[in-house]
Amino acid sequence: MKKYLLTIIVIFGLTAAVSADTIKATVNGMVCGFCATGIEKTFRAQPEVRAVNVDLENKLVTIQTKQGQTLDDSKIKKLLGNAGYSVVAVARQK
């Protein structure tokens, strides 16, 4: 019984470790569709990114990473900063 329980715990832990992240960055300075298109193009060019969505009304950039990959907060801030935007907050979800 202990081996069975330990096996389940290990499998669950490995599954969580390779799951994709959803990263939500609150960004100031985005005001138009051109802003959204530029941000989406920038993040889609990153090898870790599976999908990206820009919500101008809520000033939110949602990034979904590929399985087993992630983007560091510093890289997100650098990419957005180089494009002329300021990052207010970065939150992550599994």
In a domain, 41, yes or no: yes
**Residue recorded with tokens 């599976």:** 50
In a domain, 10, yes or no: no
What residue numbers bound the domain in which 26 lies? 20-93
The enclosing domain of 36 has a CATH number of 3.30.70.100
What are the tokens at 36?
A: 């959204």
Query: Domain tally for the chain?
Result: 1
State the DSSP string of 22-78.
EEEEEEES--SHHHHHHHHHHHHTSTTEEEEEEETTTTEEEEEEPTT----HHHHHH
Q: What averages of pLDDT result for each successive group of 10 residues across the chain (94 residues)?
A: 51 50 95 94 96 96 94 95 95 88
In a domain, 26, yes or no: yes
In a domain, 30, yes or no: yes
Tell me what pLDDT residue 18 has. 47
In a domain, 5, yes or no: no
Tell me what pLDDT residue 11 has. 53
